[in-house]
Amino acid sequence: MPLMSLTGNYAVAHAVRLARVKVISAYPITPQTTIVEKLSAMVENGELDAKMVRVESEHSALATVFGAASAGARAFTATSSHGLLYMHEVVWWAAGSRIPLVMAVVTRAIGPPWNIHVDHQDIFDQRDTGWIIGIAQENQEVLDMTLQAFKLSEDPRVYLPVMVGLDGFILSHTRAPVDVPEQELVDEWLPPRRQPYVISPESNYVMGNIAPDEVHFLMRYSMHEAMEAAKTVIKEIDKEYGEVFGRSYGGLIECHNCDDADYIIVITGSWSGDAKVASDMLRENGYKVGVARIRYIRPWPKEELEELGSRAKGIIVFDRAISMGGYGPLYSDVAGTLYSNGGKTSLVGVIAGLAGVDVGAETFKETITSIIHKIEENGFFFEPQLWLLPKDYSSREKMMEVAKRWL
């Protein structure tokens, strides 16, 4: 299998090519743009036999691929940030229709002020829509997760659309060696398109007209059930992918140093790599710290986290997004899960890295060390919102003073 030097965005494009997608539609937005550019080139030079629809907006991009998928074609789109928010209505519609579909989301901060750098505000905004949402850590995983997304979405136990998140610039525009599978192997592994219904003259099927409220309620329930089923399917696919292509990631979460860990870092996305480095450094200093990297924020890896929570002294969650006036979104889900444990585990939610502010391994290490000290000193420590403010602004007062100048 050829090893290529690929940016995360090109890794997405190659996965789309390998899945033999039939209809693609997307609208440019940084840092997603190079996905559409690459796919356009692939279509134009005959590498990929697909229709490329160059629409006038993201709302239309998702509606176009949704229309195509409803008619029976494997379809794909990609976007970021404002584009994803602009699509939001169609995001719901596509999931509620139970039509298999794949979308890459290159995560990026939301304005104002305009900002093209990474955070997770955009993708977490989609949590409740009924899409399966995966977030990759590095470029190889971007390719593998995108390819797997087609199989997952089209599995009759699931029939839900899938988003694949990759961090803006950190992955999208940074090259790394990526093992690109052979087409023949992918063809053998990925079954032909399956979907619950098609809309065509032959089917005479009607999708989306009014249903009784009770039926609508049950449809939400069945989507939730499909999410539960997806947990099994994600693990199955991860395993068989490993057998065929030599790479498995561990299902809904990937654990690093978790086995004997006293403290578990819960995190998602590319900065998980820095957290892992920090955990290795902390181990050298005698702290038993592991990292549970969330690979899928939907369906939520409840069982895995319950298990980790039941044996750890403390859980430290890093959020790259904030529900302003509430909590970090990962934190909320973790807290909900840990309640099953009677609230005995120490729990801290850290909000950091918003708007692309970099958080390196050293910073992770320092932050985690100071939290561990608090837990060990008091036997228990609970702090839902620890703001890791950018360097040089490290007091709230100073931060507010600066922020006010922009208002």
Partner 1 sequence: MVINLRKLPDKKYIMPGNAACPGCPETMGLRYVKMALGDNVVLVIPAGCSSVIQGISPYSGINAPILNIVFAAAASAATGMKAAFEAMGKDDVHVVVWAGDGGTGDIGFQALSGAAERDEDIIYICVDNEAYMNTGIQRSSLTPYGAWTTTTWKGKKEHKKNIPMILISHGVKYVATASVGYPTDFIEKLQRASKIKGFRYIHLLAPCPVGWRFDPALTAKVAQLAVETGLFPLYEYINGEFKLSPIAKRYKDPSKRKPIIEYLKLQGRYRHLLDKPEEIKKIEEYIENTWKLIETLEESFAPGKDRGKKIFDAL
Binding footprint of partner 1 on the chain (CB under 8 A): 22-23, 25, 50-51, 53-57, 59-61, 63-73, 75, 89-90, 93, 199-201, 203-212, 215
Of 57 and 183, nearer to partner 1 (C-beta) is: 57
CA 75 to CA 206: how far, in whole Å?
A: 20
CA 322 to CA 328: how far, in whole Å?
A: 4
CA 273 to CA 242: how far, in whole Å?
A: 21
CA 90 to CA 65: how far, in whole Å?
A: 10
**Cβ–Cβ < 8 Å for 393, 399:** yes
Of 43 and 277, nearer to partner 1 (C-beta) is: 43
- Minimum CB–partner distance for residue 224 and partner 1 (Å): 20
**Cβ–Cβ < 8 Å for 273, 247:** no
Give the 3-state secondary structure of residue 11. Answer: helix
**Cβ–Cβ < 8 Å for 124, 89:** no
Residue keyed to tokens 């494997």: 74
Of 125 and 319, nearer to partner 1 (C-beta) is: 125
Rg (CA), the chain: 21
- Minimum CB–partner distance for residue 158 and partner 1 (Å): 21
Of 85 and 389, nearer to partner 1 (C-beta) is: 85
Of 59 and 127, nearer to partner 1 (C-beta) is: 59
> Which of 101, 64, 81, 76 shows the shortest CA–CA distance to 29?
81
- Minimum CB–partner distance for residue 258 and partner 1 (Å): 43
CA 324 to CA 326: how far, in whole Å?
A: 5
- Minimum CB–partner distance for residue 33 and partner 1 (Å): 18
- Minimum CB–partner distance for residue 43 and partner 1 (Å): 11
Of 59 and 302, nearer to partner 1 (C-beta) is: 59
Of 190 and 207, nearer to partner 1 (C-beta) is: 207
**Cβ–Cβ < 8 Å for 157, 233:** yes
- Minimum CB–partner distance for residue 59 and partner 1 (Å): 6
- Minimum CB–partner distance for residue 39 and partner 1 (Å): 14
